[in-house]
A and B are shown apart, each in its own frame.
Chain A
Amino acid sequence: GAGVSQSPSNKVTEKGKDVELRCDPISGHTALYWYRQSLGQGLEFLIYFQGNSAPDKSGLPSDRFSAERTGGSVSTLTIQRTQQEDSAVYLCASSVGPFADNEKLFFGSGTQLSVL
């Protein structure tokens, strides 16, 4: 596609429910990143994929959070048993490959998750 696409753009859920957030990176981009931005906070790294593998998942805040990537393309971030503190904008970004000179990140427009 022309850009990084995320869906849904907004998700309201009840505490305790599971949610899935989707990211379609730019075609051909092998590197994919998930970040989140809580209200009034800075951006926080969650996980990095290179192809289908996740060499760095150190930013996932708890074992309720998981992510997968299939076919070197679409990625899904799953949050189980959502809590109110999970409310945030979840941003996906992709780049052509692992960070190297002149590599830029391309961000999706994010999923606003609200846990009631």
Chain B
Amino acid sequence: KNEVEQSPQNLTAQEGEFITINCSYSVGISALHWLQQHPGGGIVSLFMLSSGKKKHGRLIATINIQEKHSSLHITASHPRDSAVYICAVNMGTSGSRLTFGEGTQLTVNP
């Protein structure tokens, strides 16, 4: 069992749909990251969370420390949102090492 699990692995949506990607982890963490990897391979950091909720434009990330769970929501999805979304966590107190989920491939069709 991976220490960081994402679901779903693949997600296809129609433009305009509300999208949720989930991330669960098995041990205590100091922070959780949501990353976006575009088809060309570039990775962009979307959010870093240690508690609560953050919002940036159409993206919302939430984390529940007690339940060891985070969600990434995309409102009014658009084809340009198509990418791989990766959850990554800083485990323990050292904070230096990120453990990654396997990613969620999102495809938004027009």
Interface residue ranges, A against B (CB under 8 Å):
31, 33, 35, 42-45, 48, 50, 55-56, 58-59, 89, 91, 93, 98-99, 101-107, 109-110, 112
Chain A residue contacts of B35, Cβ below 8 A: 105, 107
Chain A residue contacts of B99, Cβ below 8 A: 45
Interface residues of B in 1-57 (CB under 8 A from A): 30-31, 33, 35, 41-45, 48, 50
CB <8 Å contact, A43 and B86: yes
With A43-B86, A99-B30, A99-B31 as known contacts, state yes or no: A105 contacts B96, CB within 8 Å: no
Closest 5 CB pairs of A and B: A99-B95, A107-B43, A48-B96, A43-B100, A56-B96
Chain B residue contacts of A42, Cβ below 8 A: 86, 100-103
Chain B residue contacts of A103, Cβ below 8 A: 31, 48
CB <8 Å contact, A55 and B96: yes
The one of A45, A101, A104, A110 in contact with B97, judged by C-beta atoms closer than 8 angstroms, is: A45
Smallest beta-carbon distance B95→chain A, Å: 4
B66 within 8 A of A: no
The one of A33, A58, A102 in contact with B98, judged by C-beta atoms closer than 8 angstroms, is: A33
Interface residues of B in 80-105 (CB under 8 A from A): 86, 88, 90, 94-103
Smallest beta-carbon distance B72→chain A, Å: 15
CB <8 Å contact, B41 and A109: yes
The one of A33, A50, A58, A102 in contact with B48, judged by C-beta atoms closer than 8 angstroms, is: A102
A46 (CB) vs chain B CBs: closest residue: B97
Chain B residue contacts of A33, Cβ below 8 A: 96, 98
